[in-house]
Structure 1
C-alpha cells in the first residue's frame, strides 16, 4: 500500500502472503444439473400415420381419451421447485433496514434486536452478519455432528481458519489429509484433525494441557467476536467458556462485555498465524502483533468467499468510477480475493491495505473505514487506486504506487519487484476486461 516509508523498507513491507494466503481458499459448493431431451418412441411410417381413418365409435373414444390426457398434462408443471430451507443468517447490504430484513425472512424486529444484541433497531451496518433464528449455526451443528478426530467443512471455511481453530499447524492439517496449500475444500468434506475441536476438545476428549496450566483472566469482547472464536484463541473448550460465564451456545455477546477466560492470551494464541519475517526481513514486534490480532479476528468471522469478494470489489469499483478490471487485477495480485489475508507488514484483507493507508482512504471517502469489514476493505483499496491513477502520469506509475508507494516511485523509480508487480497487474487486468 502507499505510504512514505523508506523505499527499501517499503519494498520489503509489501510481503506477499505465500502459503498463508494461498491456503485461505474458501470451501466452495459444487453442484451439477443434467437435463436430457425425451427420447422419441419408434412408430409407424409417416404415410400410415397421416392416412385418413374411418370415424368409427372406437376411434372417436380413443381420440377423446388422448385429448383429455393432453389437457391434464398441460396443467401439470414439468418441474417442481423444492422450497429452500429457511435462512439462518443474513449479511447486511447497502440500503438494508432491520424492519426490511425482518419482513423478508418472516421474523420479528424485536427478535432480531434480541438475538443480535443490538442497541437499537436503527444501528446496523453494511457487512454485518445477523442471526435470524436462535440455535441454528451451521458451523456449530457440523462440529457437533462430526466424530472425534474429524471436522466437517461448512460453507465459508478455509484451511488456515480450520487449522487455527483446532490449534494445529497448517502444514500438519495439510499432511494429515494429503492436501496442498492450494487445495480446494467443499462443504460436507471430512478432514482429519487434531488439537482442540470446535467444542474445544481433543480427539481423546481431554482439554489441552497448555490451557489447563494457563492462568485465568478476563477478555473484553470486541466487534466481530464469536464465542467459538474466543474459545479457540484462548485454547479453551467452548463448553468451559460457556460454563464459566453462565452462557449458552445460543447466547449473544456484545462489544465491551467482560468474559471469564483461561488459556493462552489472545496475543500468544494468534502468534503463529502471521510470521514475523519475510524475505529475510524481520518486522517490528508491534506491527507483527497487530497483524496477528487482525488475522485472528478475521478467521473468527464468517467472511465472504473469494467469488463473493470478487463481486464486492467489482461492484465497489463501478460505484466509485474505477475500471472494475483494474481493481480486480490489484486484488487478485495482492491476495487472490482472500478477505482473511494479512501480511507481516499488517496489510489487511483482499485489497491488502495497511492501517496508515486505511486512514488516508477514510479521508478520501469522507467516513471512517474498517479494514476488517469486507465492504470497507474494498472501498479503501478502490479509493486509493482511484486517487493514485488521478495523480500519476501513467497507469503503470499508478499501479506501481499502490505497491511501492507514490513518493518512493517518484523519487527512486520502480524497483525490480515493482516492475514485476506492474506487469502482473496489467496481465490480470487484460484477463478481467
Structure 2
C-alpha cells in the first residue's frame, strides 16, 4: 500500500479584497483598504497548485465560500431584495458588511483539522471543520466548509466527518493552522501536535496581553477525542504568548512540520524543551529532526514579514524534502541567507522553491495558509472525488473559469455592487459543476 500527503488548496474567491478584518494579523491590517486583484490572486494560487502537481505531488482543490454572505446579512436584520440588503448593510453597518464579503476561506489551513487513518481508533480519516470563533468574518465559514469537505471526501467507508466544535470562545478552533503531524511515513502511526494559545477555563495560566490567542487547549483536547486519537499519539504544546503579541496569530506562522522534521523558531513555544522531550519520547525509534531557527539569525519580525514558517515542507517523490516559500523570503537578506544555509545543514530539507503569492501575502496568508494537508493511502486517494484533483485538464479549465468570471481589480467600496453578487453566484454555480460538488451553497439550496 502506498501513502501520500495530498495538499488541498483553497481557490481564491471572486470577492478577494483587502478590508483589514483580522486584528492580530499584521499583514492584513497593514494592507487594509488597498485595491485587490481577484483574478491575479486566483491565478497565483492555481499556479502554485499546478507546480506542485508537476513536481509529482498529489494536489487537490477546495472551493471557496459564497460572498457577499446575504443570508447572514438577512439574519442580522437587513431586508428587501438582495440588492437592497447589500445597499442597506453597506450604509448602516459598513464593517459588518465588509466582514460578510470576506474571501478568507482561501486559507484552507483554517478549514479543518484532519487526522489520517493510521492515527485513529476506527481506521478512518477524520475531519473536523474549524469554528473560527475569534473572527466574525471567519466564523461564517464552518457549515459550508463542512459541506465542501463532505462533497470532496464522501466515501463513508474511508472518511468520518464531525460537526465543528461549539461556537464559543472557550472552544476556539483554528484548524490545521495550529496542528501538525510527525511520522516516519505518512501511512504509519504518528504524533499529532496540537498547539494552543491559552487555557479557556483557567485564566491564571500564561496568555498574550496584546493580541488574542485564537486556539484553546480545550478545543485541541476535544478534537483529539472526536478523532479517536490515543494519548501516546498526541502532544499539546502552548504557543509562546510573547510571539502572539508580535503578530504570530497562528502556530503555522512560527512553526511547521513534515514527516520527521519539525521546523520552528527559537521563540515559538512557551515551554520548548519539555515539549520537544515529550515529542521525542512519543515518536519512538527512528530519526527525528528538530530544526530550530535562532532569533540571532532570523528575528520574529522578519519571520512574520516573510512568512518563513508559513511555508510548505513537502516530501518529493524521490524522497528529498523541499520548502515551498513565498518570494518575500527570497527578497529578505536574513531569511534568504538562512534558507541558503538550511539546505546544506544536514537535515532532510534539500531544496527551496519560491512562488509569487503576493495577493494572498498582502492579506495575511502565505503558501501554507493556502493548503489543507490530508495524508491518505492509495485506497483513500481512490475514494476522493476525482474531479477535485489537479491535472492538466483541470488547471486549464479552472483558469478559463477565472478568466470568465473574475474581476481584474476590486476596491472595497465595490463590494456593495449587486452585480458582483450575481457574478460570484454564477461563478460558484459553474464551479460546483466542474468539481461535481452538488449544491453546497445557500443560494443553490
TM tier, smaller: under 0.3
Higher strand share: 2
Q: Which has the higher contact order (CA 8 A, sep 6+)?
A: 2
Compute the TM-score of the two structures, normalised by the length of structure 2: 0.24
Compute the TM-score of the two structures, normalised by the length of structure 1: 0.25
